[in-house]
Amino acid sequence: ARDHFKICWSIYVGWMPWGYAADEGIVSKWADKYGITIDVVQINDYIESINQYTVGEFDACTMTNMDALTIPAAGGVDSTALIIGDFSNGNDGIVLKGVDSLEGIKGQSVNLVELSVSHYMLARGLETVGLTERDIRVVNTSDADMVAISTTPSVTAIATWNPLLNEILSQDSMNLVFDSSKIPGEIIDLLVVNTDTLNQHPELGKALVGAWYETLAMMQEGAETATTARTAMAEASGTDLAGYEAQLASTLMFYSPQEAVEFALSETLPNTMQKVAEFSFAHGLLGDGAPDAGYIGIQTPSAIVGNPDYVQLRFDPSVMQLAADNEL
Amino acid sequence: MITAKNIWKRYNDQVVLERINISVNEGEFVTLVGASGCGKSTFLKMLLGIESPSTGDLLLDNQPIRTEPDSDRGIVFQHYSVFPHMTVLENVMAARAFARKGFSGYLFGQAKRDARTAALEILEQVGLSHAITRYPHELSGGMRQRLAIAQALLGKPRILLLDEPFGALDPGIRADMHQLVLDLWRTYKLTVFMVTHDLKEGFYLGTRLWVFDKVRHDPQAPSAYGATITYDLPIGKIDTSLYEQIDNQLRPVIIPDEPSMETPTHD
Amino acid sequence: MITAKNIWKRYNDQVVLERINISVNEGEFVTLVGASGCGKSTFLKMLLGIESPSTGDLLLDNQPIRTEPDSDRGIVFQHYSVFPHMTVLENVMAARAFARKGFSGYLFGQAKRDARTAALEILEQVGLSHAITRYPHELSGGMRQRLAIAQALLGKPRILLLDEPFGALDPGIRADMHQLVLDLWRTYKLTVFMVTHDLKEGFYLGTRLWVFDKVRHDPQAPSAYGATITYDLPIGKIDTSLYEQIDNQLRPVIIPDEPSMETPTHD
Amino acid sequence: MKRILNIKPSRFSALCLGLLPLLICVVIYMIASDLRLEANPNDKLLPSFSQMGEAWSRMALTPNVRTGEYIFWVDTWSSLQRLLLGMLIAASVGLLIGLLTGALPLMGATFSPLITVLSLIPPLALLPILFIVFGLGELSKVALIAIGITPFIARDIQRRTQEIPIEQLIKAQTLGANTAQVLIRVLLPQLMPKLLDAVRLSLGAGWLFLIAAEAIASTDGLGYRIFLVRRYMSMDVILPYVAWITCLAFILDQVLALLSRKLFPWHVKGGH
Amino acid sequence: MKRILNIKPSRFSALCLGLLPLLICVVIYMIASDLRLEANPNDKLLPSFSQMGEAWSRMALTPNVRTGEYIFWVDTWSSLQRLLLGMLIAASVGLLIGLLTGALPLMGATFSPLITVLSLIPPLALLPILFIVFGLGELSKVALIAIGITPFIARDIQRRTQEIPIEQLIKAQTLGANTAQVLIRVLLPQLMPKLLDAVRLSLGAGWLFLIAAEAIASTDGLGYRIFLVRRYMSMDVILPYVAWITCLAFILDQVLALLSRKLFPWHVKGGH
Ligand SMILES: Nc1ncnc2c1ncn2[C@@H]1O[C@H](COP(=O)(O)OP(=O)(O)OP(=O)(O)O)[C@@H](O)[C@H]1O
Ligand SMILES: Nc1ncnc2c1ncn2[C@@H]1O[C@H](COP(=O)(O)OP(=O)(O)OP(=O)(O)O)[C@@H](O)[C@H]1O
Ligand SMILES: [Mg+2]
Ligand SMILES: [Mg+2]
């Protein structure tokens, strides 16, 4: 049987524990426990990491709920959200220059990473003030350069995530007019595992979940290792402890597995996924074969969203439940 | 040894050579003269096998001549005849290496020592013993051509083809080169074909002189007719008036009856 | 007109020319011969102003000669003397354009029409009227040099410098070129300096022949001494034996007493 | 049997031989694509040719529902505009700098070191500064191309200027030409075909910079589209776009070559 | 007064003139930086030289607390390894292809069209496929460099091979050489300095591909670091890194030039 697995992650506040877990040997410790080996590979480019996972180079990958739907699931790779790590609670936001309310966005060019969760958040934000995407102009902008371009006079509206958001807000006359704390629980950061692999090798899921919660415990507020762990994570993401703490502040981390399980079981999750599916369909992200937003089935513990005969994305809290029950 | 039977050579529509019928015996030293562009080099290329006659047969020992270069026929061009990336000694030793079957063209062990001995010998003969570690670009033009000749001879060719070998040399040093070629021709009993643009040189060196020229002209279509061998002269049987006639054809001057010594009065 | 007073020319440690003392009158036609590398071109470059003597004075009309090219002194090189991107006519008209003050070197309106007339006239004179729309690369070598000469003359130089102008031409067509140069020299009353490697040519064309040669040699340091003018001969006063002596110095042959007609017996 | 060194294929067989590897590549792709699609019909990595054709026709032949535009052609047009403008600027500035530094020793001594340093800086690393200086509009994309290419062209033209036989400069001066006349009438025209050559050589880099710039901030363009659809790994869009870029690059190259032959009939390779 | 065309500065004044614009650039930067920092001491766009020095010494002279490594040197070493390996592969493969297609008409007819097509494809657009074929380890970064550079080198070497005077091939054959001997003993050595030239010419592109590849999949390297801190616009790190890359590029170029002169003393520019 297979006993070697590869997972990949990219730099983002909620996923930094993976790097720390790998460096500190926590992953290999848990892998040993289940008699397997796990390679943890960092990939700078977030999209590239998902693509690599989708074509089968990796068995698991970190991504948001929306990208899990539009890339692997839409690409016919049945995927399971093994770990619900956190949801963005202000980590994504819309910034306007000079104007201090979201209504002011009308008619402006908005710089954002097109088709990303920022785009989704923007669409949700526009809804709240009765606007649609037709009222603005979307300019696709690379996340790496978002901070640099924010200082230029021609840029007046930006939708982005942290740490870029904090950098931008630190400049004069930048107003945060909307952020993900207004749509809590809709932008979810996951560890997604290939469903077939997970079914054949449940030990992979157990090892990953075990390692994850051990790491989170080390960084949790109040833990004595918190400062060391967070400093290491801060450094790995190219900032300092203060910068990293600021990012954590706007992220709702599920430090305990029980919280994550509850989130998965809640009634709001299928609703969220329904919205995400609709948004994705409207932007052509579900593929050319998709006749409607329900083309791809999404299974959550409480309900199945979309086509039940073609489920490609599953939220399965069972392993996290084991962690919560201390049965790993 | 070499026989040409009614050879014509065309490039597309242009006739370069026509009706070449000759026969050359082993050991002859043929010099070829003619106006620029009349096909002397083309004829040499056919002997070398890198061009083929358009019609007619070119025979070596009554067999059609091989249509690619081989070690029967050595060649020295006006330029680029030596390998610029090898020293003088290596250039000559390479000739030995190429003569052996092998993949890389490098020599090792005993074969290398033998080649070195042979190379030093022939370099002595052409007067390059003092320069064996130099690269071609460090040699004078004359030394470079000596090297090219030495190299060609190590291939032990039966026929040696020389295409204006001294054309780029200072006239002052040509005499030495002539002496060298004559010595080697005698020593190795070669059959030599040498193109030159200097009638005096051709005349002085060869046992047989060929003059290439067009005999037919069509002013409307200058390329409709090619050159042929208008004179095939065994040297020693040419009298002064014929020499001057050919010379004038090649190097006309304004006052043909007083070609050199008389000073023209300009004013 | 031109006076050289004890000129020496050195490149770093190498002495190229030494002790040049001459004086040339308006209207003379000086031909310069000498072995390769002895400094003939260097002397011409000093006349042109692109090189300066290391010591000594070079005077034009008793003034130090200008140290950059100007329209007093025309030049024709062996190669690259015409502008490859202009047609024959444009090449000649450019000479006129450059003669006027201006920024772009292009002519417009009446000036252009005048230049055209003058250009056509001189092209007629050098026999290029039939080829005025051709580019230099479409011309034969001889036509190219005619063009270069026509162009140089339109600059109305007092002194015309020719550095082996026919060196790259087929000997067969040189006679025409000689005739042209002589005609133009007479018509425009130029002072001409012409370098050639062909004694016969130098002898036939000039009113005065300079032979450059080294008189001192140091075998240990070949560059310690430079060449100087060993003969300064008014043409018409040279006898045959001196001619042959110079010729042999420039083009030695193996059998110097029978330089051309006698066939050597090879076998 | 001739040495393989001496065997020259006829024109027709050369054509066939040349097409062979291209055909083989296509066939290999088709097999690989079929195998992957067999395993997973939704696989996006190696779409079949018909999938690519559909995607292409959707973008090139069907107006976009939202904007009514033919996306493919809009992208092409935007990218070409940027590329051509950027190359034009690079060519003009590079020509000017190369001509002046190549022809005038004083200018050469002054600016050669600076140009050398500039040519070594990887422009991609300086993007942030570029955006701040040039803003986010078309200008910055054009500027990236121009800044990336200019040092190369300037250095090439400088070298070419120095290759022009000194004899021509002397000749012009003996005809009375002043510095400006030599530059404008003698050197400049002769550099034009060299400039076209340099532009052809640097077109590849130009495309690279274009794609990089469009990836960073844009609303249309070939590079933009490729990076956008990379988000959901639509290789059925990416591959036709890449093929199209390759094709455009080829056409541009050929057009420049043709232009050079037509405009500068006197320019013979190798000179005389 | 001489025409400006004819004024040649002495060696010493050329040196001074050459340094002048570089100095001016530095001064302009310092003034601009001061002005911005005056207005906003937290400004990150144009850090002062002392800020850059601090950032640099933090990365180059202080061991990282976590790993004990000197980040700057680790980055340098990783990037150089990748670059050199990639260039080495590109050079070897390019040499082989160029030699064979240039020397053997049959090979040339067969592969030239393919190489032409490959050389026109912008490699950045193919990155996803590349990562899938070569994985995400060191191999893929090296592969991007190799794939990006090889077609250029192959075409250059092909042209260079064809430029070698046919006389030499004929001469070797008249001495009895077979095809392999001609390739190995006559052509190959003469192509080596041309190969070094081609490598020097393509080093710029090599750096570009290296930075692009490191930006996507890497955990160290100069390009990785620039990409990582770009999100925070830490110009105090980016600028020293860019300067260092420029410097490395210059050193590499000079080393190759020196190597060429030392190894191939017979290689004189322009030939004879
Ligand atoms: N490969 C070729 N294709 C077409 N025409 C050619 C080719 N080779 C030679 N010619 C033509 O054949 C004619 C004869 O050329 P060739 O080189 O034999 O003359 P040549 O007598 O050697 O002249 P020269 O004294 O200048 O060396 C020339 O007009 C030339 O243009
Ligand atoms: N710029 C220079 N720097 C150093 N040495 C030079 C320079 N120009 C010429 N020389 C040397 O000066 C000597 C004379 O050269 P010059 O060109 O004047 O000879 P020449 O008589 O014209 O020869 P040729 O008949 O070959 O044209 C040569 O030895 C040459 O190497
Ligand atoms: Mg010939
Ligand atoms: Mg000379």
Range list of H helices, B127-239 = 141-154, 174-188, 199-205
Taking CA atoms, A216 is separated from A16, A31, A224, A230, B72, in Å, by 10, 17, 12, 10, 85
Contact D125, D193 (CB under 8 A): no
CATH of C1-70+203-252 among 3.30.160, 1.20.140, 3.40.50, 1.20.120: 3.40.50
Question: Hey, are the CB atoms on E171 and B151 less than 8 Å from each other?
Answer: yes
pLDDT of C253: 53
CA dihedral B59, B64, B65, B70 (to 10 degrees): -140
Per-residue pLDDT, averaged over A237-244, amounts to: 87
Question: In three state form, how does the secondary structure of chain A look?
Answer: CCCEEEEEECCCHHHHHHHHHHHCCHHHHHHHHCCCEEEEEECCCHHHHHHHHHCCCCCEEEEEHHHHHHHHHCCCCCEEEEEEEEEECCCEEEEEECCCCHHHHCCCEEEECCCCHHHHHHHHHHHHCCCCHHHCEEEEECHHHHHHHHCCCCCCEEEEECCHHHHHHCCCCEEEEEEHHHCCCCCEEEEEEEHHHHHHCHHHHHHHHHHHHHHHHHHCCCCCCHHHHHHHHHHHCCCCHHHHHHHHHCEEECCCHHHHHHHHHCCHHHHHHHHHHHHHHHCCCCCCCCCCCCCCEEECCCCEECCCCCEEEEECCHHHHHHHCCCC
How many residues in chain B? 267
CB-based neighbours (< 5 A) of ligand 4, an ion? C 41
Rounded to the nearest whole angstrom, what is the distance from the C-alpha of residue B83 to the centroid of ligand 1? 24
| Domain span including residue E196 | 72-269
pLDDT of E153: 95
3-state secondary structure (DSSP) of residue C33: strand
pLDDT of E81: 94
Choice among B41-50, C250-259, D113-122 with the minimum mean pLDDT: C250-259
The answer, yes or no, to whether residue B265 has pLDDT greater than 60, is no
Closest CA to C137 of D163, D272, D167, D193: D272
Choice among A81-85, B236-240, C216-220 with the minimum mean pLDDT: B236-240
Contact B88, B134 (CB under 8 A): yes
Rounded to the nearest whole angstrom, what is the distance from the C-alpha of residue C33 to the centroid of ligand 4? 10
Structure tokens belonging to residue B252: 């006309």
pLDDT in tens, D78-128: 999 999 999 999 999 999 999 999 999 999 999 999 999 998 888 877 777
Structure tokens belonging to residue A155: 């840029």
| Chain C nearest-CA residue for D180 | C103
The verdict on C262 touching E (C-beta cutoff 8 Å) is no
The answer, yes or no, to whether residue C255 has pLDDT greater than 50, is no
Per-residue pLDDT, averaged over D182-211, amounts to: 92
Q: What domain count does chain E have?
A: 1
Structure tokens belonging to residue E93: 């493969």
pLDDT of B261: 40
Tokens 């006749």, residue? A291
Minimal-distance CA residue to ligand 1 atom 2 = B11
Contact C255, C262 (CB under 8 A): yes
Number of other residues whose CB lies within 10 A of the CB of residue E170? 23
pLDDT in tens, A6-53: 999 988 999 999 999 999 999 999 999 999 999 998 887 888 888 889
Which of E170, E180, E186 faces B83 most closely, judged by CB atoms? E186
Question: In three state form, how does the secondary structure of chain D look?
Answer: CCCHHHCCCCHHHHHHHHHHHHHHHHHHHHHHHHHHHHHCCCCCCCCCHHHHHHHHHHHHCCCCCCCCCCHHHHHHHHHHHHHHHHHHHHHHHHHHHHHHHHHCHHHHHHHHHHHHHHHHCCHHHHHHHHHHHHCCCHHHHHHHHHHHHHHHHHHHHHHHHHHCCHHHHHHHHHCCCCHHHHHHHHHHHHHHHHHHHHHHHHHHHHHHHHHHHHHHEECCCHHHHHHHHHHHCCHHHHHHHHHHHHHHHHHHHHHHHHHHHHHCCCCCCCCC
CATH of the domain at D172: 1.10.3720.10
**How far apart, in whole angstroms, are the C-alpha atoms of residue E222 and residue E235?**
14
Q: Kindly state whether residue D231 falls inside one of the protein's structural domains.
A: yes
3-state secondary structure (DSSP) of residue E166: helix
**How far apart, in whole angstroms, are the C-alpha atoms of residue C189 and residue D50?**
82
pLDDT in tens, E181-219: 999 999 999 999 999 999 998 998 899 899 888 887 777
Residues in C closer than 8 angstroms to D167, CB to CB, are 77, 79-81
**How far apart, in whole angstroms, are the C-alpha atoms of residue A98 and residue A15?**
33
Q: Kindly state whether residue E83 falls inside one of the protein's structural domains.
A: yes
The verdict on E264 touching B (C-beta cutoff 8 Å) is yes
Q: Using the 8-state DSSP alphabet, how is residue E6 labeled?
A: G
User: Ligand 2 in contact with C78 (CB < 6 A)?
Assistant: no
The verdict on E66 touching A (C-beta cutoff 8 Å) is yes
Choice among B15-24, B141-150, B213-222, D180-189 with the minimum mean pLDDT: B213-222
User: Ligand 2 in contact with C89 (CB < 6 A)?
Assistant: no
E139 pLDDT tier (thresholds 50, 70, 90): confident
A143 pLDDT tier (thresholds 50, 70, 90): confident
Q: At what angle do helices D127-134 and E235-263 cross, to 10 degrees?
A: 120
pLDDT of E75: 93
Closest CA to E212 of A305, C114, D209, B229: D209
User: Ligand 2 in contact with C191 (CB < 6 A)?
Assistant: no
Closest CA to A70 of E132, D58, E135, D230: D230
CA dihedral B105, B109, B111, B113 (to 10 degrees): 110
Question: Hey, are the CB atoms on E125 and D242 less than 8 Å from each other?
Answer: yes
Which numbered ligand comes closest to the C-alpha of C39?
Answer: 2
| Chain D nearest-CA residue for C69 | D174
Rounded to the nearest whole angstrom, what is the distance from the C-alpha of residue B17 to the centroid of ligand 1? 10
Average pLDDT, chain A: 89
**How far apart, in whole angstroms, are the C-alpha atoms of residue A143 and residue D217?**
10
pLDDT of E128: 65
pLDDT of C101: 83
Ligand 2 atom closest to the Cα of residue C12 is 4
Strands B208-214, B191-195: pairing is unpaired
Let me know if B218 is exposed, middle or buried by CB neighbors in 10 A (0-12, 13-18, 19+): exposed
**How far apart, in whole angstroms, are the C-alpha atoms of residue B144 and residue B173?**
12
D45 pLDDT tier (thresholds 50, 70, 90): confident
User: Ligand 2 in contact with C145 (CB < 6 A)?
Assistant: no
Q: Kindly state whether residue E32 falls inside one of the protein's structural domains.
A: no
- The end-to-end CA distance of chain A, in Å, is 21
The answer, yes or no, to whether residue C161 has pLDDT greater than 70, is yes
φ/ψ of residue A312, rounded to 5: -125, -10
Per-residue pLDDT, averaged over D185-201, amounts to: 94
Taking CA atoms, B16 is separated from B12, B191, E252, in Å, by 10, 25, 53
**How far apart, in whole angstroms, are the C-alpha atoms of residue E71 and residue A219?**
24
pLDDT of C258: 39
Per-residue pLDDT, averaged over B191-201, amounts to: 86
Q: Kindly state whether residue E245 falls inside one of the protein's structural domains.
A: yes
Closest CA to B84 of E268, E108, A107, D95: E268
C237 pLDDT tier (thresholds 50, 70, 90): low
pTM: 0.86
ipTM: 0.84
Question: In three state form, how does the secondary structure of E33-63 look?
Answer: HHHHHHHCCCCCCCCCHHHHHHHHHHHHCCC
3-state secondary structure (DSSP) of residue B63: strand
Contact E182, B83 (CB under 8 A): no
The answer, yes or no, to whether residue A217 has pLDDT greater than 70, is yes
The answer, yes or no, to whether residue A56 has pLDDT greater than 90, is no
Question: Hey, are the CB atoms on A48 and E219 less than 8 Å from each other?
Answer: no
Taking CA atoms, E107 is separated from A210, D19, D146, E104, E167, in Å, by 58, 12, 38, 5, 21
Residue E126: CB partners within 8 Å, gap ≥ 6? D242, E147
Contact C47, C195 (CB under 8 A): no
C in contact with A (at least 3 C-beta pairs within 8 A):
no
Q: Kindly state whether residue D22 falls inside one of the protein's structural domains.
A: no
Q: Who lines ligand 1 at CB under 6 A?
A: B 11, 16, 34, 36-42, 197
Residue D195: CB partners within 8 Å, gap ≥ 6? D91, D94, D95, D153, D157
pLDDT of C252: 59
Tokens 């009614």, residue? B6
CA dihedral C163, C168, C169, C175 (to 10 degrees): 30
